[in-house]
C-alpha cells in the first residue's frame, strides 16, 4: 500500500507538472521526490506521469488517480481535525435524556448555550421519566440525563443543575387567588391535585412530606405525572397544585401562581447525571456550561 507522503508528492507534481517546483512546495529536493513517485508507480504498478527531461504530463491513469489522492488527503486532514475537536469536547454527539419538566426552563437554555458555544456538538434529546433515564444511562443508551433526585447508583455521578421553589398553581377564580402569597396552612381544606407515587415519585414524596410535616392533611383529588396535565386540571378548576416555579413558563390561561411561604426552604432539584466511568469530554463541557448558567 502507498503512503500519505507519496500521495502528497504525487499531488504536488501533478498540480505543478514540474518536479523542481513541486519539490520546493514540499520543502524537499528533487531526487527523493522523484523516487517517491517511482515508488508509488511501482506500488500501483501503473505509470502515473509521462516525463521527459523537458516536460511532465499526466497519463490517463494519473488523471484518474489525482482527484482520488486529493480526496484521501483532504479526508485525512478532516479526520485529524474532527477527532481533535471530539477529544476536546468541541464536537460530537451527546445523547441526553431529560424529564418533561426540565424542558420548561433548563433544557432550552442548555440547548441554546451548546449551540452558541459548541456549534459542532449535536445533542440527541430524549424525554423520559427519571427512572427510565437512570436505566438507559447504565445501559449506555444515553450519555447524560437531566433527572430528579436521588441519584444513588454507584456507577453514576450527578451534579445539581437547578434548585427552584415550589409554587401554588390555582384557578384565577379560586378563593385563595387574591392572596399575594400562601402558606401550607392555607392549603388545608383545598382540593389538591397531587403526583403519582410511581411515575412522579420525587414530586410525590416532596409534596407529601412538606404538607405532612406542617400538619396538613392533604385532600388529594387526583394523582398525575406530568406537570402540564396537572395545570390543565387546575385550569378546569378541579383543584390547586404544588408545582416547580419553572411551570410558570407554561402560561396556561386562567391559572395563576402564588409563592409558597415555608419555614425551611425545600427546593425542587434537578440533577445532571452520567456514568462515573464515562470518558466523553462532552460531559465535562456540559457540566461546565450548566455550572455557568445563572440558575445553577
Residue 263 touching DNA (CB under 7 A): no
| Vertex 59 angle, CA 70 and 71, to 5° | 10
Closest of 124, 127, 136 to residue 103, by C-alpha: 127
Q: Which of 272, 280, 285, 290 binds a second copy (CB under 8 A)?
A: 280
Q: In whole angstroms, give the CA distance from residue 283 to residue 296.
A: 16
Among positions 52-71, residues that touch DNA (CB under 7 A) are 52-54, 56
Q: Which does 292 bind (CB under 5 to 8 A by kind): a second copy, DNA, none?
A: none
Is 194 in contact with 220 (CB distance < 8 Å)? yes
- Closest approach, Cβ 141 to DNA, in A, equals 24
Closest of 59, 54, 72 to residue 14, by C-alpha: 59
Q: Which does 196 bind (CB under 5 to 8 A by kind): DNA, a second copy, none?
A: none
**93 backbone dihedrals φ, ψ, rounded to 5°:** -125, 130
- Closest approach, Cβ 23 to DNA, in A, equals 7
Residue 4 or 74 with smaller CB distance to DNA: 4
Q: Who contacts 258 (Cβ-Cβ below 8 Å, separation ≥6)?
A: 167, 168, 170, 176, 177, 179, 180, 181, 182
Among positions 5-64, residues that touch a second copy (CB under 8 A) are 5, 44-48, 50, 59-61, 64
- Residue 122 half-sphere exposure toward CB, CA atoms < 13 A: 3
Q: In whole angstroms, give the CA distance from residue 199 to residue 182.
A: 27
Q: In whole angstroms, give the CA distance from residue 244 to residue 103.
A: 12
Among positions 196-255, residues that touch a second copy (CB under 8 A) are none
DSSP labels, 195-226:
E-TTTTHHHHHHHHHHHHHTT---EEEEEES-
- Closest approach, Cβ 124 to DNA, in A, equals 31
Residue 287 touching a second copy (CB under 8 A): no
Residue 31 touching DNA (CB under 7 A): yes
Q: Which of 4, 32, 81, 112 binds DNA (CB under 7 A)?
A: 32
Stretch that binds DNA, among 16-24, 68-76, 133-141, 239-247 (CB under 7 A): 16-24
Q: In whole angstroms, give the CA distance from residue 141 to residue 135.
A: 9
Residue 154 touching DNA (CB under 7 A): no
Three cell numbers written together for 122: 449535536
Residue 35 or 63 with smaller CB distance to DNA: 35
Among positions 75-94, residues that touch a second copy (CB under 8 A) are 75-76, 78-80, 82-84, 86-87, 91-92
Residue 279 touching a second copy (CB under 8 A): yes
- Closest approach, Cβ 134 to DNA, in A, equals 24
Residue 91 or 233 with smaller CB distance to a second copy: 91
For residue 104, the SS3 value is: helix
Contacts with DNA, residue ranges (CB under 7 A): 3, 5, 18-20, 27-32, 34-39, 51-54, 56
Contacts with a second copy, residue ranges (CB under 8 A): 1-5, 44-48, 50, 59-61, 64-65, 68-69, 71-72, 75-76, 78-80, 82-84, 86-87, 91-92, 279-282
Amino acid at each position: 500500500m502507498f503512503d500519505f507522503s507519496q500521495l502528497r508528492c504525487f499531488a504536488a507534481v501533478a498540480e505543478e507538472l514540474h518536479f523542481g517546483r513541486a519539490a520546493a512546495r514540499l520543502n524537499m529536493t528533487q531526487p527523493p521526490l522523484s523516487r517517491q513517485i517511482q515508488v508509488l508507480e511501482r506500488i500501483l504498478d501503473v505509470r502515473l506521469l509521462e516525463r521527459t527531461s523537458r516536460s511532465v504530463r499526466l497519463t490517463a491513469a494519473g488523471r484518474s488517480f489525482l482527484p482520488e489522492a486529493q480526496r484521501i488527503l483532504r479526508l485525512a486532514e478532516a479526520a485529524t481535525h474532527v477527532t481533535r475537536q471530539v477529544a476536546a469536547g468541541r464536537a460530537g454527539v451527546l445523547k441526553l435524556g431529560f424529564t418533561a419538566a426540565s424542558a420548561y426552563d433548563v433544557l432550552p437554555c442548555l440547548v441554546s448555550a451548546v449551540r452558541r458555544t459548541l456549534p459542532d456538538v449535536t445533542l440527541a434529546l430524549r424525554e423520559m421519566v427519571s427512572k427510565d433515564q437512570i436505566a438507559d444511562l447504565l445501559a449506555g443508551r444515553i450519555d447524560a440525563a437531566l433527572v430528579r433526585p436521588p441519584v444513588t447508583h454507584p456507577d453514576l455521578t450527578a451534579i445539581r443543575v437547578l434548585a427552584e421553589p415550589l409554587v401554588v398553581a390555582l384557578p384565577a377564580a379560586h378563593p385563595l387567588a387574591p392572596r399575594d402569597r400562601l402558606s401550607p396552612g392555607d392549603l388545608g381544606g383545598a382540593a389538591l391535585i397531587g403526583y403519582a407515587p410511581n411515575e412522579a415519585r420525587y414530586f410525590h414524596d416532596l409534596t407529601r412530606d412538606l404538607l405532612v410535616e406542617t400538619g396538613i392533611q392533604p385532600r388529594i383529588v387526583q394523582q398525575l405525572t406530568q406537570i402540564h396535565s396537572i395545570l390543565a386540571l387546575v385550569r378546569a378548576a378541579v383543584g390547586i397544585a404544588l408545582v416547580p416555579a419553572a411551570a410558570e413558563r407554561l402560561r396556561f390561561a386562567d391559572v395563576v401562581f402564588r409563592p409558597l411561604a415555608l419555614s425551611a426552604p425545600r427546593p425542587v432539584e434537578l440533577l445532571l447525571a452520567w456514568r462515573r466511568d464515562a470518558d466523553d469530554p462532552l460531559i465535562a463541557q456540559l457540566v461546565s456550561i450548566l455550572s455557568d448558567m445563572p440558575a445553577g
